[in-house]
């Protein structure tokens, strides 16, 4: 694990402006976009939310939405029926318990349908600037293993390992920087190891 500081330093040099690539202006929009991003690319989600966010602007709008209309707008993201149900049921809870606002605590976020730790960490880190954990998506799992930062495969255990290794002040950036690197260099198939700036500190496990 001696490569940990070099990994963080390398990511900061490579991606000083790393940020969440889901288009949004409010915590609610980010929450909806993150739910839609499950097994779907951010690029596709951003295409879908252009119309979606014009149609529904508040939690009340989503709560009262016609299910068929909502499903139609998000169909191309895949698993649209389940996602529509998650969005609508979550919106109803936001209206009933949180005054229509997205809560800013892990405990409250995890009570919402369609929200697990990954989504909650995205909301807390990006919308509220709160470092409560590390986002573990498919990119993070792959890179953390290849870089020798964890031997775990379950997201919650990967996150625990990373939280022990990465200083809390770096959690938000690390979550975003690793995702950027996974999308731009360390691909699932045919990673660009020769062109990778982290090559010297990466054991390339599983490659």
**Residues identified as active-site:** 118, 137
63, two tokens: 């709560």
CA-nearest of 80, 88, 86 to 63 is: 88
The torsion defined by the Cα of 27, 182, 16 and 123, in degrees rounded to 10, comes to 10
CB of 112 closer than 8 Å to CB of 59? no
Show the tokens assigned to 143: 């890179």
């Amino acid at each position: 694990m001696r490569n940990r500081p070099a990994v963080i330093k390398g990511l900061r040099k490579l991606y000083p402006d790393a940020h969440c690539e889901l288009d949004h202006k409010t915590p609610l929009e980010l929450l909806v976009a993150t739910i839609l991003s499950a097994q779907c690319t951010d690029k596709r989600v951003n295409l879908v939310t252009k119309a979606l966010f014009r149609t529904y602007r508040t939690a009340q709008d989503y709560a009262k939405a016609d299910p068929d209309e909502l499903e139609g707008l998000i169909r191309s993201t895949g698993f649209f029926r389940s996602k529509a149900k998650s969005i609508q049921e979550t919106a109803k809870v936001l209206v009933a318990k949180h005054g229509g606002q997205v809560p800013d605590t892990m405990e409250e976020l995890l009570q919402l349908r369609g929200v697990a730790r990954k989504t909650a960490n995205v909301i807390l880190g990006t919308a509220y600037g709160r470092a409560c954990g590390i986002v573990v998506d498919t990119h993070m799992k792959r890179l953390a293993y290849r870089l020798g930062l964890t031997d775990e495969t379950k997201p919650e255990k990967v996150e625990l390992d990373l939280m022990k290794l990465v200083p809390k002040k770096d959690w938000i950036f690390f979550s975003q920087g690793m995702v950027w690197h996974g999308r731009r260099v360390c691909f699932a198939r045919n990673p660009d190891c020769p062109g990778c700036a982290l090559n010297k500190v990466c054991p390339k496990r599983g490659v």
